[in-house]
Amino acid sequence: MKKRYPRTLSSGANNTVIALTETEVGKLYTGDTRSDIGSEAEKMKFANTVNALIVKFIRLDELNEDAEMLVMERLYPMDFRAYEYEKRELWLEVLEDELRELHKAGFVHRDLRRPSDVVGFKFDNVFLTSTGFRLIDVGISALKTQVGERLFERYVTQELKELEEFRTFVLER
């Protein structure tokens, strides 16, 4: 069996995420992925200034000599199937509003739905919480100021398509 960090929540496609306290988690960066931590933190901080859809950035820290970590708000996902359609539709509406608000501000998440060739839960970056849907994982998110108008628009179009798929996914079950 693979060696696991104590208090691991998930050892997903790219990064391990560990529980730090009841309110904080740390996304670990080791070796080659280290260079991404600053960019991920900046994108998260930017989105946090727009609205509360993206998980809240707390700080950058180190776990030990080998691992740096991005500390963020700890979310506790619920299962949407426990809730009435009316409620799910309301949450979906808010998600759509907030996502469009982020797009207007120049932020696109780009990872609502995982690529079909990657194993795992299809919409694992969307968490349903007691305050509605929240998004984690800004690893491949893009800022308009960095990628330019053209690419940005393309990403937004793709994202709205994925949002539509997510709506179907949530209401079909």
Ligand X SMILES: Nc1ncnc2c1ncn2[C@@H]1O[C@H](COP(=O)(O)OP(=O)(O)O)[C@@H](O)[C@H]1O
Per CB under 5 A, residues contacting Mg ion are: 125, 137
Q: Which is nearer to ligand X, 74 or 88 (CB)?
A: 74
Q: Which residues contact 102 (CB under 8 A, 6 or more apart)?
A: 47, 50, 51, 53, 54, 108, 109
Q: Which of 41, 58, 67, 72 binds ligand X (CB under 6 A)?
A: 72
Least CB distance from residue 106 to ligand X, whole Å?
21
Q: Which is nearer to ligand X, 129 or 157 (CB)?
A: 129
15 counts as binding ligand X under rule CB under 6 A: yes
User: Can you tell me the distance from the alpha carbon of 50 to that of 54, in angstroms, rounded to the nearest whole number?
Assistant: 9
Judged by beta carbon distances under 5 to 8 A according to partner kind, the member of ligand X, Mg ion, none in contact with residue 28 is: none
Q: Which among 99, 157, 90 is positioned nearest to 126, based on CA atoms?
A: 99
Residues 134-156 as b/e (b if ≥16 CB within 10 A, e otherwise) read bbbbbbebbbbeebeeeebeebb
Q: Which among 23, 70, 12 is positioned nearest to 44, based on CA atoms?
A: 70
12 counts as binding ligand X under rule CB under 6 A: yes
Judged by beta carbon distances under 5 to 8 A according to partner kind, the member of ligand X, Mg ion, none in contact with residue 55 is: ligand X
Judged by beta carbon distances under 5 to 8 A according to partner kind, the member of Mg ion, ligand X, none in contact with residue 17 is: ligand X
Structure tokens at 131: 């305050």
* Site for ligand X, rule CB under 6 A: 9-10, 12-15, 17, 25, 27, 55, 72-75, 124-125, 136-137, 139
